[in-house]
Amino acid sequence: MIKLSALIVLLLVSTLHARTDKGQKIYMNTCKECHKSGQAMCKSRNMRVWKKVMSDNGQQLATLHTSSKKAQGSWEYFKNPKFSKDSKHLRDFLTTYAKDSGNIPACD
């Protein structure tokens, strides 16, 4: 019974944390069309800036996009609750490969 409880807790905790690979996949599916290379996008800011932009479920990033006519094609995504769910993974991807991180994504 204890082993089963520990396994359930471990599985729940692991699903709550952000995942870099999931953030990269989200970027490739939703952001790449406008922003092109994920590596270039990540390297455009340092970790501190990405954390700030992605704080509060990415609301600052959503505001940047929804207030720009050039980004009108993305407004639906940023107004959708799905973005709030995706934001922790995007934050992890963007900060993991930020210009001051020293990391390089394996796939762009």
Is residue 2 predicted with pLDDT exceeding 70? yes
pLDDT at 3 over 80: no
pLDDT: is 74 or 33 the higher one? 74
CA distances from 47 to 34, 39, 62, 97, 100 (A): 22, 14, 18, 8, 7
The pLDDT value recorded for residue 7 is 65
In this prediction, residue 11 carries a pLDDT of: 55
- Summarised one tens digit per residue, pLDDT across range 6-64 is 666 655 544 445 688 899 999 999 898 888 788 788 888 999 999 999 999 999 999 99
